[in-house]
């Protein structure tokens, strides 16, 4: 049996042309689809990186704002709170002596210690003051120290109950003096 002409001659040509057409289609569309897929993946990665960069930028902005606020606080501390020896420290010591000499309180010998604050143009002046008196008088002394316009820190407090006098308080207070740039230890203490 003979095959019709179109089956014998045209079908193989048609199949070859179909395969060739499919090959050209694959050669044309496959690289483009791979490029599009890669471009989409790169776009997703770029969006993720952009989000991370924005988060980092926001964190850096917050950090810069905190640094500016800290710098302003430090300048305010140096100018308003850490004064000089004559103008602030002597007045603060006089006020503490007045508070310690309030009726009912019996101050003992105080000690004064000075030390440089590492990494800052400051000198710490620590005052250790033992007091005896009733609980209310000792609390009144601490409240008076707290209301001081001068920047004082209460570093350590030890309270001992005493049947005779009511109580004994040993308090360590600190004040800070701003050292001008270039001032040496001996120069700022008047030696």
pLDDT in tens, 2-27: 667 666 777 788 889 999 999 998 88
d(CA 71, CA 63): 12
Alpha helices for the chain (secondary structure H): 5, 11-76, 90-100, 135-146, 185-188
Residue 104's nearest CA partner among 142, 146, 132 is: 132
Supply the pLDDT for residue 189. 46
**If you compute the radius of gyration of the chain from its CA atoms, what whole number of angstroms results?**
42
* pLDDT over 80 (residue 81): no
Place of tokens 């009726």: 103
* Choice between 187 and 83, residue whose per-residue pLDDT is larger: 83
Is residue 191 over pLDDT 50?
Answer: no
Report whether pLDDT(187) > 70: no
In 3D space, the residue among 186, 78, 176 whose CA is nearest the CA of residue 124 turns out to be 176
| Mean per-residue pLDDT over the chain, rounded | 83
CA distance 119 to 113: 19
């Amino acid at each position: 049996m003979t095959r019709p002409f179109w089956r014998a001659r045209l079908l193989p040509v048609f199949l070859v042309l179909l395969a060739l057409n499919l090959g050209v289609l694959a050669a044309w569309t496959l690289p483009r689809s791979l490029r599009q897929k890669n471009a989409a993946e790169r776009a997703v990665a770029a969006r993720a990186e952009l989000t991370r960069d924005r988060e980092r930028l926001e964190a850096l902005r917050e950090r810069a704002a905190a640094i500016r606020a800290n710098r302003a606080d430090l300048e305010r501390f140096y100018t308003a709170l850490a004064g000089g020896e004559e103008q602030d420290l002597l007045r603060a010591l006089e006020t503490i002596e007045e508070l310690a000499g309030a009726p009912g309180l019996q101050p003992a010998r105080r000690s004064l210690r000075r030390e440089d604050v590492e990494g800052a143009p400051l000198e710490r002046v620590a005052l250790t003051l033992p007091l005896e008196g009733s609980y209310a008088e000792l609390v009144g002394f601490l409240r008076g120290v707290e209301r001081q316009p001068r920047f004082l820190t209460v570093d350590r407090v030890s309270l001992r109950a005493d049947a005779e006098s009511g109580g004994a308080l040993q308090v360590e207070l600190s004040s800070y003096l701003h050292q001008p740039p270039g001032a040496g230890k001996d120069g700022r203490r008047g030696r």
